[in-house]
Amino acid sequence: MTKEIRANVAIIGAGPVGLAAARALRKEGVDNITVVDSSPVGTRFAGIAAPGNIAPDFDDLRGRLSGYPGYINLYRRSRELYEELQEQVKERIDFAPTRILQVSQEGKELSAIADHYAKSGFNFEMLTPEQVTKLEPAISANCCVGALLLGKEISGHVDPVKLVSWLADDCRSQNVNVVEGVKIEKISETKEGFRLESVGLTIDTEYVVNAAGASVAKICGLLDPKYANMAIWPVKGHFVTFAPVQNLRLGIDILNDIGSIVQYSSGEIKIGGGSDENTYEVEQWSIDRLLRSARETIPALESAPVVNTGFGFRALVRNHEPIVERIKNKSNFIIAGGLHRTGITNCLGVGEIVAKIVTDTGERKFGIDERNIPNLGMSTFG
């Protein structure tokens, strides 16, 4: 028998963006929200592979993103919302401002990065290997010919899995219906809005929020094949998590040539990164490469057992900006996607924009500047 659900808003995808949107909608007083995910919450979202760097300081980004005021606002607002969240659940969210150290084995590469940062107006200093080990003794001096230290406490991180599980708990406590193990396979328009269909379940809803991550374009294509050409591509990334090592406490987030290394408050260390073949399998060579590079950078990880490994697909959009928009001529169908490297960073701000679009309250205030849209390969929407 097919189960039927009626919702005011149906959100496809219980990743950070879908859940943050549900939370923000509840804050705006919207009720009867259903979030569906094809997998159990927290098991298949892109952030499973993400180390979870969040919210670089918007002042440091000002130079780089001066053409995109909406994006700067989004960083700023997301950061405010993280701070709010941290106040709310202190012991469950790891967010401490820190700095980012970019280490490199290739001097040439580092100078190219430095050139880019200099042109983009970032604050940074170049460090010798000796200065690197002085700053962070856990890093091997042999691992780099030099490094670049960005800004002043411009980074911070959360454990994305913890974040998603916390957001899911919050949604459930706010009476959001979170449905797991339901893959949306068909979407049609109805008089009231849309009908979403899966095996054994239909959802009739006024609004759809498409927060399906790397599958955003595919989901749009279920509504109309012409939308499937939208320029959002899936890009795969792997991760390795190491168990805590006694006396190892990193004071800094590290980027090396292969990935991004962060330590959570539990003591676990995660490296995530790489862009590989888009197969739906773990690729051992990529895991091995992450393992090797993490251990070369931080020799103490040699003795650390690996807790888990895996991969996720992130949604790449040209220019890397997120898309938060209605589909043209279908004002009740909203896309929240294309957050290649910043879906954790910006999920709370994006969720808020979604809520403002649905409730029609100042959607541009924190939004992505409309002028950016032609840059995003969205011509199929015209």
Ligand X SMILES: Cc1cc2nc3c(=O)[nH]c(=O)nc-3n(C[C@H](O)[C@H](O)[C@H](O)COP(=O)(O)OP(=O)(O)OC[C@H]3O[C@@H](n4cnc5c(N)ncnc54)[C@H](O)[C@@H]3O)c2cc1C
Residues that bind ligand X (CB under 6 A): 12-18, 36-39, 44-47, 49-54, 183-184, 211-215, 219, 237, 239, 260, 272-273, 312, 314, 337, 339, 341-345
CB of 359 to ligand X, least distance (A): 20
Helix extents (H) in 267-330: 284-297
295 vs 314 by CB, closer to ligand X: 314
312 vs 377 by CB, closer to ligand X: 312
Beta bridge partners of 317: 232
Which of 147, 144, 139, 129 is closest to 299 using CA atoms? 139
As separate numbers, helices (DSSP H) first and strands (DSSP E) second, the chain gives 9, 16
CB of 38 to ligand X, least distance (A): 4
70 vs 259 by CB, closer to ligand X: 259
183 vs 195 by CB, closer to ligand X: 183
Show Cβ contacts of residue 285 under 8 Å, excluding neighbours closer than 6 positions.
Answer: none
205 vs 212: CA distance, rounded Å: 17
15 vs 193 by CB, closer to ligand X: 15
CB of 260 to ligand X, least distance (A): 6
Tell me how long the chain is: 382
Token pair of 223, please? 């509504």
18 vs 193 by CB, closer to ligand X: 18
CB of 306 to ligand X, least distance (A): 16
Token pair of 115, please? 């050139």
CB of 130 to ligand X, least distance (A): 28
189 vs 169: CA distance, rounded Å: 31
CB of 234 to ligand X, least distance (A): 9
DSSP assignment of 141-201 = GGG-SEEEEEEEEEE-B--HHHHHHHHHHHHHHTT-EEEES----EEEE-SSSEEEEETTE
